[in-house]
Structure 1
Amino acid sequence: MKQLYLVILGLIFMGFASAQNNCGDAIPITIPFSSGSVTTCGTGNDYPAGSFFNANYGGGEDYVYKLDISTVPQTLLFNLGGAATYKILSLHSTCPPSAANALTGWVTSSGTTASGTYTFNTAGTYYLFVDTWPSPNCGAFTLDVTLAPSAPANDICSGAIDIPAAGPFPYLTTAVNNISATDANDPANTCNSYGHKGVWFTFTPATTGQYNISTCQSDAPGSTIPDNLLSIFTSASGCAGPFTQVICDDDACTTLANQAVVNADLTAGTTYYILVYGYNTNVGDAQLRVSAPISCAPVTGQTVSGITSSGASVSWTGTGSFIVEYGPQNFTPGTGATAGVNGTVISPATSAQAISGLTPSTPYDVYIRRDCSSSGSGYSTNSAKLSFTTTALPPANDICSGAIVIPAAGPFPVLTAVVNNSSATDTNDPVGSCQSNVRKGLWYSFTPATSGQYKLSTCQSDAAGSTLSDNVLTVYTSASGCTGPFTQVICDDDACTTLGLQAVVNADLTAGTTYYILVQAYSSGTGDVQLFVDAPIVCAAPTGVSSSGITMSSANINWMGTGTFILEYGPQNFTPGTDGTAGTNGTLINPATSPQAINGLSESTAYDVYIRRDCSATGSGYSANSTKISFTTLSAPPANDLCSGSIVIPSAGPFPVLTSVVNNASATDTNDPIGSCQSDAHKGVWYSFTPATSGTYRISSCQSDAPGSTISDNVLTVYTSASGCAGPFTEVNCDDDACTTYALQAVANANLTAGTTYFILVQSYGSSSGDVQLQVGLPPAPPANDECINAIPISYNAISTTNVLATESMAPGSCASFSSVANDVWYKFTAVQNGDATVAMSNTSPSLDAVLEVFSGTCGSLTEIACSDDNVGGVGETANLTGLVNGETYYVRVYGYDGDEGTFDINVSGAAVPITIEYFNASKVSVSKNNIGWKVNCSGGGTSQLILQRSANGTDFTAIQTLQVNQNGCILPFAYTDNSPLIGINYYRLKVKDESGRVSYSQVVAILNKNDRFELMSVNPNPVKTNTVLKVVSGDNSMLQLLVSDIAGKQIFKQNVNLVSGMNIIPLNVSHLAAGTYQVTIYAADAETKTIRFVKE
């Protein structure tokens, strides 16, 4: 029996040993600390990705440490290692973690280790979180935390390690670790802006020449910074700066490719300042290897650019005198100052050196050598060969004067010769209206013998030789020919079908007029261009027909083409006529000109429109009708489109007032002012309100308040005007996006004066439209704990709370003086013994800058004993309390600095705090089995009694397990399996009785143990005036539909609800319902339904 007990006890402790996954289980550490090999596997994923300093990490299981810092400033060194590849170590000022309270951190990705330092300037409790990449979800790690070493002497330029002027070479410096180095006064470099923790070296060479200065581990074995940067500077004022960069490298090594090496031309007697940085957070040992100088070193870093048909530009690195030699591909270069066979020498040459007079489409080789003859060192060897090929000459039709002429009379279709645009230029090419990002244009000209509509196409389906996959085609005229200016006739970017980015136009061209056709590549594309020109359609149907400017009584019709046109319109689905005759119910406008206005239309009516070309003057009759276009005229603006038609909100309510629903689709902007919070506001509708009582009113278009409000993005502005609707208007309040359900809807809390008329304008953002409804009422009451007398008790378990809408109880505390309102809320706790405690609040609103005060005494006669305002917005506050007295109640005040509002979590812990329940939960395993789990905090010491209770009705509870636990036993979480649950709903709670006899209870949790999917428990309060709560017990996680209807079954509103297994609380706002009896029905996917009634007062 004893053996069985020991086995069970061992299994229990094994289970608890891996539960260090949340704030309550955080392992306290002292410095120095070494974890040994630990795993996150089995700890659970309490804090998801996004909780830490790097949002890309942290989707796996968590391991949490707690670190108390009492001496500041203090710098610690953190080393993260272990077998898992993708890990994160994130340091936070409070718990639970968030991106807002993250201080710094380190990740491992390509390797398995990471390290870094952090300086603590504020005493307090900090939290360390080890987590893993989203996949795999867990793994082994090690964590070592020690005091960081002091910064190395060469952290600053004045402490630079000096490299001997004459060697001996190669010279190896001592290795210096940069983990505690700073960025103090380190200059920036040009090759990478992410250099940090730099260490300095100086070198004043005795000999002029090229020196290889390397951090490559293959050269400097002590160089262990895996990714570093190396920059060399000069400075006329020494370490005082400013520094001038000579050369810089980021990643030129080969063995460890992210280390740095340079070949630097250095001058004897000049002092060079060499700075080795770690890239980003990389740390390790920095060591330099300096080679013997090459007195006349070969040239490096040579490149070629600016290649044309007759020239190129050659560049290289280094200082001194140089010779450039170029010649045809594979020529043999010379040496010294002498050219080789077929070579041409440029001496002296300066980077960047232009080479001109070259032959188009010809390959060339280039060599560069250093001329050191003036110092008696002769010449360097030739550089590595640099090769390039000159471009071809532009095609003849690269310019308008060389345009390919399309025969005036065909024969059609005409296919032009194929021309490659690779060497075309942009010289004097105009840019069409359909695409501005065009290059490498080719020209064509066409003077048609016959007027008509011509298809001009680069589509590969028409012109098989057209391989330029994305092009633009523009047709121009010009009174002065190719000298311009050009007038655009038509332009297309992407109208082909086979290759959708090629271009095609149907252009109305007039006989005898010369048209200039320009085909350009989109961006820098190259390829073959071929043009297809089809036979003219003498009287072609118009194309590109569209409508615009639609009003209640008119519209504009647009189309493409030149000539004479007839427009015919009529009611939807009318039969159009032909030639010059109208069809049944059709009306002609003859002649019509694009854009053609149609007037005298009926509002809210659908119309069809056709266009046909009138070619009768040339004997070619009439074209067929164009493709039909349709439009619907607008309805009349709503009455409250103008201020003078404002909907009047009753002065005395009853509140909340819900206005009628108005659609703003046909509203205008006539005389509407623009509020300060959003300028892109349109289609405004007006309301007026003259309150009978002064006060703060909540004016809301949020759908959660006004169910008929369907504009998803609107703007609400409140104005006054001494002259009424005649204006001018003075803004009182303006909001764009303050709602919560639909965050882009608008709501305003406005202080209004009795007897003053306020004009409320609701506008759509941009061009959106929809239904507008307002709810006007008094704003929500301040939080229940707005005053000290209503302070909320706090304990070890953090509660989520807010100071939104709170008022000021007293002046700001001693640690945060300012002139704005201190909108405070109050909490309290009672010490159960003499001792210490810590009050901690952590933000859940990123922008909240909070102040935390703690008082002794009683409300109305308080004495401040602690005040904390150590952190800026988004980070929590902590108050460490000492010398608390058994039995005394302490009051905690939280307010926003300078009027800030937001949500936060708060709790109290320590020896003076009584036993508290950290969590209590239950889950259904099957119809006949439930699991219950809990954890308590016995920080007050002594022996406590834990009684697990069960009830069938949620009121009468009986014990099903009783445990006696001491303070050590409380460290462990508890679990119980109910193998004989009641049929129906089982209510569970935990009763806790400490050694002094104080009793506390957990929350009640409910489990449904029958085959029904869910049970509808209650509506409370009932009857209800505005808000009520629906309680539903669910047997599993599911999504159901909730329907509210009147007693006759008429649907009022419905919504989807997500249920979790157990008790669910569903808030309902019924303020907009008329008084009467209603019913709530919940539907499951398997057709199971439950209904409950409530009365609306």
Structure 2
Amino acid sequence: MKKLFIILTIMLLSGVGLKAQNDCVTAVPIASLPFSSGTQTTCGKVNDYPAGSFCNASYGGGEDYVYSIAVTTAPVTLKFTMGGAATWKIVSVHSACPPTAANCLGSVASSTGVGEGFIHIPSNGTYYVYVDTWPAPACGEFTLDISVAPPAPNCATLAAPANGTVLTTNIPTLSWTPAAGGPVPTGYKVYLGTVNPPTTVAATVNFPATSYTPTVPLLYSTTYYWYVVPTEGGNDALGCNTTIWSFTTPAAPAAPANDNCTGAIMLTANAGSSCASAVAGTTLSATSSGVPLGTCTGTADDDVWYSFMATSATHNIVISNVASVGTTSSTSLYSQVFSGSCAGLTSLICDTSAATPTALVGLTIGTIYYVRVYNSNTGSTAYANTFNICVITPVVPPNDNCDAAVVLTPSASGTCATLTAGTTLGATSSGIAPAPCTGTADDDVWYSFVATNVTHLVNLSNVVSVGTGTNSTSLYLQAFSGACGTLTSILCDTSAASAAQLTGLTVGNTYYVRVYNSNGAGYANSFNICVTLPPSPPANDNCTSPVALTPGATFAQNALTTTSLGATTDGAPQSCQTSADNNVWYSVVVPASGSITIATGPVAGSPMTDTVLNVFSGTCGTLTPVTGGCNDDNLGDAFSTVNLTGQTAGSTLLISVLKWNGGSPQDGPFQISAYDGSLGTLDPAAEVKEVKVYPNPFTEFVHFADAKDLKSISVMDMSGRIVKTVSNPGRQISLGELKAGLYILKLDYKNGTSKSVKAIKK
């Protein structure tokens, strides 16, 4: 017993204080290269070296695992590969212990997955390799592989600009000649800076390019130093900083001639709404004119001046083609308009966005007005812009207000017999708020028509962006009943791609339509407009002529694209939603399982966005609603789904699909499908080569290997709704229009089998 007590005491004293601490003293030696650690953990190794000890100061809050390696073949470059389950891990190599930033040789960090890098060992000796983690988690599993790197590329030869050159531009192109012999580089690291030697990598240029041009102008009157380091997958050439060249940038240009109000450049006001005569300008090297900003903002230390004589009571100042030419990138170009004279200016308007015109109203014809333009930041060479400027005279359309609405004559059919050209360019706000519609109606133009039918379609076509702002074809439409002083909104339409459907009209009454670009100032469109009758009712407008659905195993298998356009309301009983109209009919035979799911879905670009679905047994004239056979909104969207069980196999069900009429949905194309899982045709013995889908996640294109057996692809979101179908897809499909998220790709093969694959859109 005594002997056992002594043994336990020795173990406690010598070992367990043995939390398996691992530090410089107990560093695990690496006997030879290549070395592979296998799966290890820092857990239980104690945090001997805190954050800030390693090459990357962000790491070090976790426990440490320490290796030592005796290098006898220096100089040598080693390749370090780090993996394992731990997140935010680092391997940091040092020439001494304890580790400090001063004795650091390099590090490789990895957040998730594998990190890989090269570290150069300059001389023989003992080096320490530390594995640690980000402050949280404090420990975790890792793998570490170390090997001697393959030979690095040879150094390139600097070519231009010649060493010591004084340049005439501050956006120089640096070029070099690749080295003869040695490994072919994958790229070149360009070191560029104002200290010798430069320590900043300005860019990494991919092979085979052998030149680099800064994306931002360099400082004026400044000497720069540069050299190039070829790299092969991160394995950098050695000794390239022994050849460092320099160049000096030119002095900043002189201030522009219109640096002050007295030198203002006279602009000619264009007679129309387009910039027929734009003037080029710059704020580079401009100085402050000393004119107070007043209520305007920004720093006008680089203001340049323009003037114009008003030829109308309304003008717009248009600034375009704004480019950054300063040593710091910025296109924050402001403007300010004044009345008066240079000796006594009065601020009229401030504009902080060159993207849209500055609208001036209430001007006095024949009077000179002044405009100053400046970058809002401080520093006339650090922040500077080139631009074009012009003055336009907006032409107000004659139908700018409701009381001057252009009268449209409805066509006698569903085809536009007469197209009327229109534009919102130059239009002003009529002062009528859009609510309940949306958008900014600051450029609305007006039309009217006398109803010849209870239903009419208003069609917008040939929509073209003609504004001075960013390109936009976001043309909205709003319809009203009543008179110009007492209008009542009856329809909002936010897509000119489809006709706006007006229902419940009174024949002989006048209705008003206003059209406007949904964005603010500077956005405008030209377009054509017409009013037509609705199309003829579809063949399945009545219960007696339903379209037969073929049941499949999934929604996508036999989904039918159909339409309610032109449909009428037949008065069939609605058990779950009475605010619905314009129904069309379908039928389906119940499969042997006695179960069937019937669902509707969207068609891209269709105004039909909300359905109501009713299922009946019996025959037309004696319809009986099926229990559970009515659905308004399915979970997650406004389309409809009913799941029926316990039905009589072989019986025929009749299906009525209506448009919900409580909001803005309109008749148009939609999808409908009947399906049940018992109808699946997946044959395990089918000889179809599995199609590989890549990349996954994807950005725009999804590729398919061995796609010759594919018949079609259905893309579904996570609610099961089909968002795209592609027939005979070939080796790739484009899905760039999808929003980021998870999708199901249902692959239908030519032999009738199918497979589903999850894919992530970045």
Q: Calculate the TM-score normalised by the size of structure 2.
A: 0.37
Determine which structure has more spread, i.e. the larger CA radius of gyration: 1
Q: Calculate the TM-score normalised by the size of structure 1.
A: 0.28
